[in-house]
Amino acid sequence: MFRLWIRMWKDGHLLKDTVVEDGTADTRTHKVLHALEEGCVRFDLAKPIWLDSTVRDFQRHSRCRFYQDSFVEEIGFDYLEIRIIEEDDDY
C-alpha cells in the first residue's frame, strides 16, 4: 500500500492533515501526483506547481514543501508539506 501524508502549516502550527492511500499498480510518480491532487481536493486548494527545488527535495527525501511560489492563488498558510509514509515493496 502507498500512503502520502499531506499537512498544512501556519506559524509553526499544524492546521490540517490527511493521509491519502493508493493500492493501485500505478507508478510511484503517478501515485504521488494522484494523492497530492486528492489532498488538494480535500483541502479545497488548487494544485501546486512542482518547482525544480521541490522535485529535488522530494527525490532525495521522499518529502517536500510547497510554499506560496508554488501556488498561483494567494494561500492562507505558510506551506503545504507532503511525505511518503508507506511505500509499496516494489521500489
pLDDT in tens, 17-55: 999 999 898 899 999 999 999 999 999 999 999 999 999
pTM for the full predicted model:
0.89
- pLDDT(90) > 90: no
Which residue in 49, 52, 51 sits closest to 36, CA to CA?
49
Type of residue numbered 73: E
Q: Please count the other Cβ atoms lying within 10 Å of the Cβ belonging to residue 91.
A: 9
- 91 vs 83: CA distance, rounded Å: 16
Say which DSSP state 76 is in.
S
